[in-house]
Amino acid sequence: MTRTRSTFPSPIVETFGWLNGIEHPADRPLMLVSQAAPVAPPPQELRQALADMILTNDAIHLYGPVLGLNELRDELASQCSARYYGEIAQAQVAITSGCNQAFAAAIATLTDQGDEVILPTPWYFNHKMWLDMSGVNAVPLPAQADMLSDPDEAAQLINDRTRAIVLVTPNNPTGAEYPASLLRAFYDLAKSRGIKLIVDETYRDFDSRDGAPHDLFTDPDWDQTLLHLYSFSKAYRLTGHRVGAIVTSADLLLEIEKFLDTVTICPTQTGQQAALWGMRNLSDWLAGERLEILARRAAIRDGFPVLAAQGWALRGLGAYFAYVEHPSDMPSDQLAKSMVKQASILALPATMFTPPGDSHGARHLRIAFANLDRAGIAAFFDRMATLPA
């Protein structure tokens, strides 16, 4: 079996295939709540700045440093140090071609064929796909009722082949925000057992809590245990530019550099310049974006009783996501397909975030609501309420 055949098809690609041959009524256009990515372009001022750079900065069209532009690495190190009250240096930051590549680079650096990584379920499907293709065993750690994982249960799964624990907060797909104390417990567990803690904070800019989401960077030797992953895509609407980051020890980045040099040589110069300009100029704009996402989150919470009356349950809510339990006799993959025809809604079934045959996956759906305004969220609930029980 080849490496790519060892894993499942991309859920995003697969579900878009469900749309083939289906026409939606003019008064009920297709509603996409399947993909957690901005559909609007970056703000006008960023686009203008980028256009000017493309015309005037010749270096933007050339190869750059494998680990990213020093200016962007410096800026991210500085802003992360301020946000988390820690000490992060440029040498501990690498820029990657999207956050997925940051994860892939981390796994390539930390693991060998047959090693194990503890992956909470429901998991982010691209994490599972990369572990499969890397020949690394993803060890499921089922979430508790609050959609958070238990470090005591994780401890029981660690053996001599375990190389890392992966956490995503705010979580994809559930939206759950890991409390600082829980992240600390996982960090202490990883440190005590000599393994790494990979914390993917792609959606950190839309966390509902003010202040630092955790204190892990305050440890003097944080870089011996922690690998922090970040994405500029959601913050500045740069999904098409593919810009992410990994923050860890300088020694580990020397190994990660080998992977990045082989795969992409360097991250896109235009995307890095856009991210750098955004970090330096769009803090107020980003704060407004966060407030809008929080308002949409509130609209989901406030509108959910109409579905709760029909037996639905809201199990997770945060960042871009609502994670819901359905009352249907159908498993979630069949229900999600029927929703395309009956309600013109494309959502992802939780079977795409769980191991095959997992009963949890059959009972849940992920709703990515960030691209629905509040009127769109109201229309979403109206359509969902019409689905047959």
Q: How far is CA 248 from CA 82, 223, 227, in A?
A: 16, 5, 5
Residue 333: which CATH number?
3.90.1150.10
pLDDT surpassing 90 at residue 126: yes
Considering the domain architecture, whether residues 203 and 192 belong to the same structural domain is answered as yes
pLDDT surpassing 90 at residue 282: yes
For residue 35, the tally of other CB atoms under 10 A from its CB is 18
Domain boundary among 282, 307, 330: 282
Those residues with Cβ within 8 angstroms of residue 104's Cβ, 6 or more apart along the chain or in another chain: 130, 259, 263
pLDDT for the residue 356: 93
CA–CA dist 331, 364 (Å, integer): 8
* 61-117 residue pLDDT tens: 999 999 999 999 999 999 999 999 999 999 999 999 999 999 999 999 999 999 999
Counting the structural domains of the chain, the total is 2
Considering the domain architecture, whether residues 308 and 266 belong to the same structural domain is answered as no
Q: How far is C-alpha 184 from the chain's CA centre?
A: 20
Considering the domain architecture, whether residues 77 and 151 belong to the same structural domain is answered as yes
CA–CA dist 325, 229 (Å, integer): 29
Domain boundary among 254, 282, 310: 282
Considering the domain architecture, whether residues 72 and 170 belong to the same structural domain is answered as yes
pLDDT surpassing 80 at residue 388: no
Torsion of CA 117, 7, 122, 381, to 10 degrees: 160
Query: Exposed, middle or buried, 255 (CB in 10 Å: 0-12/13-18/19+)?
Result: middle
Considering the domain architecture, whether residues 267 and 289 belong to the same structural domain is answered as no
Q: How far is CA 161 from CA 112, 116, 158, 255, 386, in A?
A: 9, 6, 8, 20, 49
* 351-366 residue pLDDT tens: 999 999 999 999 999 9
| Residue 180: band (very low, low, confident or very high) from pLDDT cuts 50, 70, 90 | very high
Q: How far is CA 315 from CA 35, 175, 258, 283, in A?
A: 19, 9, 41, 31
Considering the domain architecture, whether residues 165 and 307 belong to the same structural domain is answered as no
Contact predicate 117/130, CB 8 Å: no
Considering the domain architecture, whether residues 278 and 353 belong to the same structural domain is answered as no
**Can you name the residues that pair with 348 across neighbouring β-strands?**
366
Task: For the chain, report the end-to-end CA distance as a whole number of angstroms.
Answer: 42
Considering the domain architecture, whether residues 202 and 315 belong to the same structural domain is answered as no
Quote the tokens at residue 46: 């960023």
pLDDT for the residue 114: 96
Residue 167: which CATH number?
3.40.640.10
Considering the domain architecture, whether residues 273 and 340 belong to the same structural domain is answered as no
For residue 124, the tally of other CB atoms under 10 A from its CB is 21
H or E element: which one contains 71? helix 70-84
* 287-315 residue pLDDT tens: 999 999 999 999 999 999 999 999 999 99
* 6-61 residue pLDDT tens: 998 898 899 989 989 888 999 999 999 998 888 889 999 999 999 999 999 999 99
Considering the domain architecture, whether residues 94 and 66 belong to the same structural domain is answered as yes
Q: How far is CA 16 from CA 11, 43, 158, 266, 324, in A?
A: 8, 27, 37, 31, 21
Considering the domain architecture, whether residues 96 and 169 belong to the same structural domain is answered as yes
pLDDT surpassing 90 at residue 130: yes
pLDDT surpassing 80 at residue 389: no
Contact predicate 230/236, CB 8 Å: no
* 210-220 residue pLDDT tens: 999 999 999 99
Average pLDDT along the chain: 96
Name the pairing type of β-strands 244-247 and 313-318. unpaired
Domain boundary among 282, 311, 342: 282
Contact predicate 175/323, CB 8 Å: yes
Q: Which residue range(s) make up the domain with 159?
A: 44-282
pLDDT surpassing 80 at residue 183: yes
What does the DSSP 8-state code read for residue 178? P
* 234-276 residue pLDDT tens: 999 999 999 999 999 999 999 999 999 999 999 999 999 999 9
Considering the domain architecture, whether residues 179 and 217 belong to the same structural domain is answered as yes
Residue 166 has phi, psi (to 5 degrees) of -115, 130
CA–CA dist 94, 90 (Å, integer): 8
For residue 181, the tally of other CB atoms under 10 A from its CB is 9
**Which residue in the block uniquely carries the two structure tokens 């359509």?**
383
